[in-house]
Amino acid sequence: MSPSLQQDLRQSKPFSSLQQEAYLSVVRTTSTLTDRVEDLLKPYGISATQYNVLRILRGAGPDGLPCKRVSDRMISRDPDMTRLLDRMEKRGLITRERQTDDRRVIKTRITPVGLEILKELDTPVDELHKKQFRHISAAKLKALADALEEAFPTAAPE
């Protein structure tokens, strides 16, 4: 049992199961890590979700991606992707264009403004992640990543 988690949550009795303790530890850790990223992004006027969209679109290259594909690649789901993209388009971070060959498809692309923000953030975000995990060895980080991947396996190949 993790005394620090139990103390942080001001819980006087033991967790009901190891699974509950692991779950709460993951949630607490996620919240703490995300708060630090949000603090870093705030001066740029973007959220962690918007940052995720920009990274996805940068990776997609000049062809961009249909909105649905952007949504499918998100780390954390946004219940209203359309409004998220509307706000990003209004700020000039992305563009959207209905395709002529299939009018149901709307391609989303990152703009030069969005690319510039990512370029400015690449090093600070990388440094933040290194700082956040500086006290954990590479072997333990790999084991953690493997354990989390095992807890939430991706869909079987088709």
pTM above 0.95, yes or no: no
Q: How would you class 63 by CB atoms within 10 Å of its CB: exposed for 0-12, middle for 13-18, buried for 19 or more? A: exposed
pLDDT score, position 53 = 96
pLDDT (tens digit, 9 = 90+) per residue, 18-55? 888 888 889 989 999 999 999 999 999 999 999 999 99
Give the pairing of strands 94-98 and 65-66: unpaired
Q: What's the rounded Cα separation, in Å, for the pair 9 and 116?
A: 40
pLDDT value for 105: 79
Residue numbers of the chain with a pLDDT score lower than 70? 1-3, 154-158
- What number of other Cβ atoms are within 10 A of residue 117's Cβ? 21
Residues linked to residue 94 through DSSP beta bridges, in sequence order: 110
Domains plus CATH for the chain? 22-148 (1.10.10.10)
Classify the phi-psi angles of 15: left when phi > 0, otherwise alpha if psi is within -120 to 50, otherwise beta: beta
Compute the chain's Rg from CA coordinates: 19
Res 141: pLDDT: 95
Chain-centroid distance, C-alpha 113: 20
Residue-wise DSSP of 37-61: HHHHHGGGT--HHHHHHHHHHHHHG
Per-residue tokens: 50: 């918007």
For 97, the enclosing helix (H) or strand (E) is: strand 94-98
pLDDT attached to residue 154: 67
Q: Check residue 114 and give its pLDDT.
A: 97
